Amino acid sequence: MDIKVYPESFDPWQEIQSHQHSAHNMAGKFGATSIFIGTMRDFNEGDEVKGMTLEHYPGMTEKQLEKIVAEAVRQWPVIDALVVHRVGDILPNEPIVLVAVWTSHRGDAFDASRYIMEALKSRAPFWKKELLISQAERWLEKNTDGYS
Amino acid sequence: MSIKVRYFASLKESIGRSEDNLAFSGAVTVSDVWHSANPNKALPENVLAAVNMDYVELNSAVKDGDEVAFFPPVTGG
């Protein structure tokens, strides 16, 4: 299990590849890998967005993400998981979040990765502030429910 | 007892501070910490609170050396 918070842009595909290559214990054991990547859009709520700043609570962020991954491991037979999240200044088209889950079978991979992602959205202490094309800044007030 | 208070995101901006260090005597809850640190500002309705980086209810007790944090709903991911 690996949790990373990056202040600089990252390549999610490279992260997945290097994590999988370094996890020798799971070679031959996993049959399913579920990958979710969240990427910054250049639009939100009808406005053009030119950038965003992601603030976080260092320490609590990692603690909450570790708890969320541990909850997923208790509920599904997860072989390995990787969670990567950006902080700092982000531009459209840059990745914000990566959740990758390795399991023996696909159902568990889908379910565990969705659980981690939805729990991250409601509990991991990150906050987005958008910078609009108009130069106005605004804090996002609330994440939407991913199931509705 | 001494308590460190931290604020994040829009709440930090509206208060104009990122942290406070307060001294108390006797039993104190998370809500008491807010009111002592911000006597002229009601607790925002949707505020979230944490003690030592775990989520808590506003009526939770705090103890000497705790770090209490207040922040708006989270918007990561």
β partners of residue A47: A44
| A19, amino acid identity | H
> In B, what residues contact A, Cβ < 8 A?
6, 8-10, 46, 50, 53-55, 69, 71-77
Cβ atoms of A107 and A101 within 8 Å: the answer is: no
Average pLDDT, chain B: 97
B40 near B14, Cβ under 8 Å? no
Q: Looking at this predicted complex, what is its ipTM?
A: 0.96
Would the CB atoms of A141 and B72 count as touching at under 8 Å?
A: yes
pLDDT at residue number A146: 87
Asked whether residue A148 carries a pLDDT value surpassing 90, the answer given is no
CATH architecture assigned to B2-71: Roll (3.10)
- Asked if A35 contacts A99 with a C-beta cutoff of 8 angstroms, the reply is yes
Phi, psi of B16 (to 5 degrees): 85, 15
Domain locations along chain A: 2-20+31-137
Q: CA of B47, closest CA in chain A: separation in Å?
A: 11
Q: Are A94 and A67 in contact (CB under 8 A)?
A: no
Q: What average pLDDT does this structure show over B27-54?
A: 96
CB nearest A54 (choices: B53, B69, B76): B76
Which of A96, A97, A122 has the CB atom closest to B74's CB atom? Answer: A122
Q: Which residues of A9-29 are buried (b: 16+ CB within 10 A; e: fewer)?
A: ebebeebbeebbeebeeeeee
| C-alpha atoms less than 13 angstroms from C-alpha of B67 in its C-beta half-sphere | 11
* CATH number assigned to the domain covering A2-20+31-137: 3.90.1170.40
Q: How many whole angstroms separate alpha carbon A131 and alpha carbon B75?
A: 15
E strand or H helix at A126: strand A126-132
And the tokens for A142?
């609330």
- Return mean pLDDT, chain A: 96
Alpha-carbon distance of A47 to A58, in angstroms, equals: 30
